[in-house]
């Protein structure tokens, strides 16, 4: 990757562009409600068992992504919802692509569910065990980033019973997880989501983008880009003291940490496999890099504990994850190795 500096003129132009965009969104942004502030669905760290009943054959055979009716059962209470398949790669390559759950017309008895409108359900690509491990590994990547910052997407682990109403087949049980809706995240942080803006990495919150760049290196991810908002959301805190937007990552399926068998690096990257790390960030000031690295060292014990306490990973997947973390910390705890990689 080419490391480029920014001229004073380009910085000033970017700041003017950003200020105008933020002003527009501040005028158009929706207000935060007290109900949203109290939303607790993603705060409870327990596995939620649910049943989803629908015509799955019809859902996955559609050439166009369209909603269809489904039944969601949570704690023996049945709700009418709508859902649709999403994604392009997985719709073509997986027997079970990811789904969007739509609750906009659903009446919930449990008040903690009221803020759910549309959320992404991440489920296994196929029913074999390795694919289940990929999902659990990706869930842990989200949880790891939660340990680094609250300016991140929260996730909720589900144990899902899939019942196909079109076939006389036994239900299938798989783990999956749902991702916090971007508007819920923004409301939680008293912020606005910024859309449709061409923004350079250097015109975002420095602490976050430096930490994020190292985090993506840690998990072996090159499938992201700030300028094109590729697997990235921009979040602007509604405070004068927070002028720069925060970069929030998502979608960690094609990473070395997950190590999915179908994930291969882009041929122009010059790396052999998805586990081979490549730093995809910019060249930042040494003091900013050292501050970010200090945070990773500070969180080291908590990150390892997260993986070791998670008993749904099989032994092989856990050992691979720990080994990958070991190789990362070996790099950042060596000043000479670190300096050569991050600039």
Domains of the chain: 8-28+190-341 (1.10.1070), 35-184 (no CATH)
Select from 216, 231, 248, 219 the least CA-distant residue to 87: 231
Q: Which of 40-49, 83-92, 95-104, 214-223 has the highest mean pLDDT?
A: 214-223
Which of 23-27, 212-216, 322-326 bottoms out in mean pLDDT, i.e. has the lowest?
A: 23-27
To the nearest 10°, report the CA torsion of 224, 228, 231, 234. Answer: 120
Measure the CA–CA gap between 185 and 25, rounded to whole angstroms.
Answer: 16
Integer angstrom CA distances of residue 143 from 213, 279, 303, 304, 307: 17, 21, 9, 12, 10
- Burial of 224 per CB tally in 10 Å (0-12, 13-18, 19+): buried
Please give the pLDDT value at position 33.
Answer: 43
Quick one: DSSP state of residue 150?
Answer: S
30 vs 148, which has greater pLDDT? 148
Measure the CA–CA gap between 292 and 148, rounded to whole angstroms.
Answer: 10
Q: Which of 24-38, 166-180, 310-324 has the highest mean pLDDT?
A: 310-324
Quick one: DSSP state of residue 262?
Answer: T
Integer angstrom CA distances of residue 92 from 102, 109, 143: 22, 37, 28
Mean pLDDT of 70-83: 93
Residue 177 near residue 187, CB atoms below 8 Å: no
Pairing state of beta strands 172-179 and 68-74?
A: unpaired
pLDDT band at 31 (very low <50, low <70, confident <90, very high): very low
Evaluate if residue 71 carries a pLDDT over 60.
yes
pLDDT band at 15 (very low <50, low <70, confident <90, very high): very low
What is the pLDDT of the chain when averaged over all its residues? 85
Q: Which tokens hold the place of 239?
A: 């405070």
Residue 282 near residue 311, CB atoms below 8 Å: no
Q: How far apart are the first and last CA of the chain?
A: 10
Please give the pLDDT value at position 39.
Answer: 57
Q: SS3 for 51? A: strand
Please give the pLDDT value at position 62.
Answer: 60
Please give the pLDDT value at position 21.
Answer: 47
Q: Where are the alpha helices (DSSP H) in 54-128?
A: 56-61, 89-93
Measure the CA–CA gap between 109 and 138, rounded to whole angstroms.
Answer: 31
Evaluate if residue 195 carries a pLDDT over 80.
yes
């Amino acid at each position: 990757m080419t490391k480029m500096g920014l001229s004073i003129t380009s910085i000033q132009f970017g700041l003017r562009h950003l200020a105008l965009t933020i002003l527009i969104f501040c005028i158009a942004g929706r207000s935060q409600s007290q109900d949203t502030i109290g939303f607790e669905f993603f705060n409870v760290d327990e596995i939620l068992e649910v049943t989803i009943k629908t015509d799955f054959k019809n859902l996955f055979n559609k050439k166009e992504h369209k909603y269809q009716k489904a039944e969601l059962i949570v704690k023996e209470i049945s709700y009418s919802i709508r859902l649709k398949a999403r994604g392009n790669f997985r719709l073509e390559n997986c027997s079970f692509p990811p789904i969007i759950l739509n609750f906009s017309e659903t009446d919930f008895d449990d008040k903690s569910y009221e803020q759910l409108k549309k959320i992404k359900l991440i489920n296994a690509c196929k029913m074999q065990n390795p694919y289940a491990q990929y999902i659990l590994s990706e869930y842990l990547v989200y949880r790891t980033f939660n340990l680094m910052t609250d300016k991140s997407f929260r996730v909720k682990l589900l144990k899902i019973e899939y019942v196909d109403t079109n076939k006389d087949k036994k239900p299938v049980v798989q783990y999956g997880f749902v991702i916090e809706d971007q508007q819920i995240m923004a409301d939680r942080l008293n912020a606005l989501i910024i859309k449709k803006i061409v923004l350079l990495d250097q015109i975002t919150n420095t602490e976050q983008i430096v930490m994020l760049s190292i985090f993506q290196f840690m998990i072996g991810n090159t499938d992201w880009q700030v300028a094109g908002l590729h697997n990235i959301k921009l979040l602007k805190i509604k405070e004068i003291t927070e002028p720069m937007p925060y970069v929030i990552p998502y979608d960690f399926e094609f990473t070395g940490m997950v190590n999915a068998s179908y994930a291969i690096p882009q041929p122009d990257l010059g790396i052999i496999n998805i586990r081979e790390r490549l730093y995809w960030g910019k060249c930042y000031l040494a003091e900013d890099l050292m501050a970010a690295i200090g945070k990773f060292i500070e969180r080291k014990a908590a990150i390892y504990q997260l993986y070791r306490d998670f008993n749904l990973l099989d032994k092989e997947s856990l050992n691979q994850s720990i080994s990958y973390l070991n190789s990362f910390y070996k790099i950042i705890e060596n000043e000479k190795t670190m300096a050569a990689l991050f600039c």
